[in-house]
């Protein structure tokens, strides 16, 4: 049986011993390395190279507005009831997209498109049409049935009519934040969605022929216990989403102000959190979900599982992805693009983002150009985090590097993990064992050249 379909081996003592703060590796190098010195010339050159390589495209739109505040939220969002803020923002995203449309080869096909947030359904149905029609005019969206066009929704704040509108606009995937069904937990975090509401929504989405439905849950929220988690998971399993994410609640009120509305005394302890996670993984595996890795689960027939079996899984800013073959162009405040060998991040503050566009500038604020060593390490981290293995032969074929010599320091650092039977290192490569899966971030960190003690403070606990 493949490693990913085996029941997870849970070794609490080792998990605690190796538990350190660390990045989630949705990019390598990670965002703290992005620099304001990054130039427009570097970006334009990357786009030219990407046009030559002529990979398909993935488009991301960041819509930051929310009309309610979920206290736990660590996303880049603006909480407001003022709906008139939406149109000028949508117009700026279209302006940004038009600037890029002049630079990207128009024959490149957009295979993947995602609206994230915030709450993308904050904008009106008309504004959605405006944005999608402009996107279709400026870029060539795939329409052969293989396209993946997805939207994030807050199930308590969206109507069935709006979902039909999104479906008509071409969206065929939905990602919804459920977080937790328990009433006391919902009240403590000010995030409400009832089982009845979501059940109704799910049957409507299926009738509307959305092809894939994904749900987000969070563990480590106030008042969560094994009992409440069990009840939430029973309901979720009954609803039967195609994919599931279970995020670790990162309580960092010094960074995310609204989290100070959550009282420390109501939070589960570190031990209780581990028990919640262990319980959730066992339960979902027992219910037939495949544990892809990190926070992600999917049904055995899902494309993510198939990509993992075929060794084609990738990690990007949205987590695990089947579209590693695409360049990612992201528009909207704070969004991050990945084009050829550069990452580029837009201004996070709305005013700054809008001001740049108003004078005709690309609204980026930071970026990073990967050198060959960075690309090599990105490959290593991607292989480990997606497939739990690294083949030295493959490193040699792709980068001309003899891995056991090039990474001799890293392989030495990994020896304690070999001794703890978390991984094995052979002349052929590195294999992460079942018991090492929970510590994959810790294993990847060994290959991260940019980590230092200062940065580690910025990351949430690994588990
Ligand atoms: C980018 S957010 C936006 C999704 C959408 N606005 C919603 O609330 O449904 C995606 C997911 O991140 C998770 N999330 C947000 N803040 C978090 C935090 N502080 N710790 C862990 N997960 C968090 C939630 O599960 C949320 O659904
Ligand atoms: S969790 Fe989603 S809906 Fe809630 S504040 Fe954050 S981005 Fe907005």
* Rounded Cα gap, residues 135 and 266, in angstroms: 45
- Confirm or reject: Cβ of 117 under 6 Å from ligand 2: yes
Residue-level pLDDT at 21: 60
Instruction: Please list the ranges in the chain whose pLDDT falls under 70.
Output: 20-21, 452-463
What does the pLDDT read at residue 1? 75
Q: What secondary structure letter does DSSP report for 35?
A: B
- Please tell me what DSSP assigns to residue 421: T
Fill in the DSSP letter of residue 246.
E
Closest CA to 112 of 77, 150, 163: 150
What secondary structure letter does DSSP report for 287? T
The pTM of the full predicted model, rounded to 2 decimals, is: 0.95
Nearest to 449, CA basis, from 378, 399, 386: 378
Nearest to 395 by CA among 439, 447, 436, 449: 447
User: Is 21 in a helix, a strand, or coil?
Assistant: strand
Q: Measuring from each residue's beta carbon to the nearest atom of ligand 1, which residues come in under 6 Å?
A: 72-75, 116-119, 152, 154, 177, 179, 216, 218, 247-250
CB 4 within 8 A of CB 291: yes
Locate the ligand 1 atom nearest the alpha carbon of residue 245 and give its number. Answer: 25
CB 334 within 8 A of CB 76: yes
Closest ligand, as measured to the CA of 77: 2
Q: Which two tokens stand for residue 283?
A: 């339960």
What is the C-alpha to C-alpha distance for residues 362 and 365, in angstroms, rounded to an integer? 9
Chain-centre distance for alpha carbon 442: 18
At residue 263, the 3 state secondary structure works out as coil
For the CA of 118, the nearest atom of ligand 2: 7
Tell me which ligand sits closest to the C-alpha of residue 215: 1
Q: What is the number of the ligand closest to the CA of 178? A: 1
- Per the CB < 8 A criterion, the answer to whether 106 and 139 are in contact is yes
Q: Whose CA is nearest to atom 15 of ligand 1?
A: 73
Ligand 2: does its nearest atom lie under 6 Å from the Cβ of 66? yes
**30: closest CA among 313, 385, 269?**
385
Angle at 322 between CA 237 and CA 202, to 5 degrees: 30
Query: Measured in angstroms, how far is the CA atom of residue 7 from the centroid of ligand 2?
Result: 33
| Cβ atoms of 391 and 429 closer than 8 Å | yes
**Alpha carbons 170 and 164: distance in angstroms, whole number:** 10
Which of 67, 76, 78, 118, when mutated, tests ligand 2's pocket best, judged by the most ligand atoms within 8 Å of its CB?
118
End-to-end CA distance of the chain: 26
Confidence at residue 462, expressed as pLDDT on a 0 to 100 scale: 46
Buried b (16+ CB within 10 A) or exposed e, 406-434: bbeebbeebeebeebebbebeeebbbbbb
Tokens representing 169?
Answer: 């606009």
| Cβ 77 under 6 angstroms from ligand 2 | yes
The reply to whether ligand 2 has any atom less than 6 angstroms from the CB of 177 is yes
> If you measure from the C-alpha of residue 249 to the centroid of ligand 1, how many angstroms do you get, rounded to a whole number?
9
Distance in angstroms (rounded) separating the CA atoms of residues 277 and 274: 5
Indicate the top mutation candidate among 63, 151, 175, 177 to test ligand 2's pocket, ranked by most ligand atoms within 8 A of CB: 177
Give the separation between CA 211 and CA 36, rounded to whole angstroms: 40
In whole angstroms, give the CA distance from residue 264 to residue 251: 9
User: Best substitution site from 70, 81, 158, 215 to test ligand 2's pocket, by max atoms within 8 Å of Cβ?
Assistant: 70
Between helices 372-387 and 392-399, what is the axis angle to 10°?
150
| 158 C-beta closer than 6 A to ligand 2 | no
Closest CA to 376 of 389, 395, 354: 395
Distance CA 136, CA 114 (A): 14
* Cα-to-centroid distance, 385 and ligand 1 (Å): 21
298 near 242, Cβ under 8 Å? yes
The upper half-sphere exposure of residue 450, i.e. CA atoms within 13 Å in the direction of its Cβ, equals: 18
Q: Give the 3-state secondary structure percentages of the chain, helix then strand then coil, rounded to 5.
A: 45, 20, 35
Asked if 285 and 12 touch (Cβ cutoff 8 Å), the reply is no
CA nearest neighbour of 333 among 62, 134, 73, 67: 62
CB neighbours of 230 closer than 8 A, spacing ≥ 6? 279, 283
CA dihedral 100, 102, 107, 111 (to 10 degrees): 10
Residue whose tokens read 């304001």: 36
| 73 C-beta closer than 6 A to ligand 2 | yes
pLDDT of residue 280: 97
- Ligand 2, atom 4, lies closest to the CA of 70
H helix or E strand, kind and range, residue 358: helix 350-358
Q: Cβ(247)–Cβ(295) under 8 Å?
A: yes
Q: What is the distance between the alpha carbons of residues 440 and 423, in angstroms, rounded to a whole number?
A: 10
> Given its phi and psi angles, is residue 264 left (phi above 0), alpha (psi -120 to 50 degrees) or beta?
alpha
């Amino acid at each position: 049986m493949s490693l990913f379909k085996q029941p997870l081996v849970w070794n609490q003592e080792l998990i605690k011993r190796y538990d350190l703060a660390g990045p989630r590796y949705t990019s390598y190098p990670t965002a703290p390395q992005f620099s304001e010195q990054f130039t427009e010339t570097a970006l334009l050159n990357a786009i030219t190279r990407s046009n030559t390589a002529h990979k398909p495209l993935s488009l991301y739109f960041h819509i930051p507005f929310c009309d309610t505040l979920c206290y736990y939220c660590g996303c880049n969002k603006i909480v407001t009831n003022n709906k008139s803020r939406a149109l000028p923002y949508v117009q700026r995203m279209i302006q940004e997209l038009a600037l890029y449309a002049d630079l990207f080869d128009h024959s490149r096909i957009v295979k993947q498109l995602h609206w994230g947030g915030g709450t993308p359904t904050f904008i009106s149905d008309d504004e959605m049409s405006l944005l999608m029609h402009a996107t279709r005019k400026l870029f060539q969206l795939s329409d052969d049935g293989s396209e993946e066009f997805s939207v994030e929704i807050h199930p308590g704040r969206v109507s069935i009519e709006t979902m039909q509108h999104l479906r008509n606009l071409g969206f065929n995937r939905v990602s919804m934040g459920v977080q937790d069904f328990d009433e006391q937990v919902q009240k403590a975090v000010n995030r409400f969605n009832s089982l009845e509401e979501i059940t109704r929504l799910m049957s409507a989405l299926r009738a509307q022929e959305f092809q894939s439905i994904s749900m987000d849950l969070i563990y480590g929220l106030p008042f969560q216990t094994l009992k409440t988690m069990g009840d939430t998971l029973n309901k979720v399993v009954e609803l039967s989403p195609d994919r599931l994410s279970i995020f670790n609640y990162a309580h960092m009120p010094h960074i995310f102000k609204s989290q100070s509305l959550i009282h420390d005394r109501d939070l589960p302890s570190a031990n209780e959190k581990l028990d919640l996670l262990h319980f959730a993984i066992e339960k979902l595996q027992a219910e037939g979900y495949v544990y892809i890795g990190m926070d992600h689960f999917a049904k055995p027939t899902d494309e993510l599982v198939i990509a993992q079996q075929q060794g084609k899984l990738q990690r990007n800013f949205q987590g695990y992805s089947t579209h590693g073959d695409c360049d990612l162009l992201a528009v909207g405040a704070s969004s991050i693009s990945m084009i050829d060998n550069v990452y580029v991040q837009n201004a996070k503050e709305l005013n700054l983002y809008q001001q740049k566009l108003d004078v005709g500038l690309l609204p980026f604020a930071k970026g990073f150009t990967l050198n060959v060593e960075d690309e090599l390490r990105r490959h290593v981290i991607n292989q480990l985090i997606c497939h739990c293995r690294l083949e030295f032969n493959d490193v040699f074929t792709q980068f001309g590097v003899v891995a056991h010599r090039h990474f001799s320091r890293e392989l030495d650092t990994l020896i304690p993990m070999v001794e703890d039977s978390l991984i094995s290192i052979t002349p052929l490569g590195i294999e992460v064992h079942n018991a090492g899966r929970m510590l994959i971030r810790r294993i990847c960190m060994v290959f991260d050249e940019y980590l230092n003690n200062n940065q580690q403070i910025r990351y949430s606990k690994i588990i």
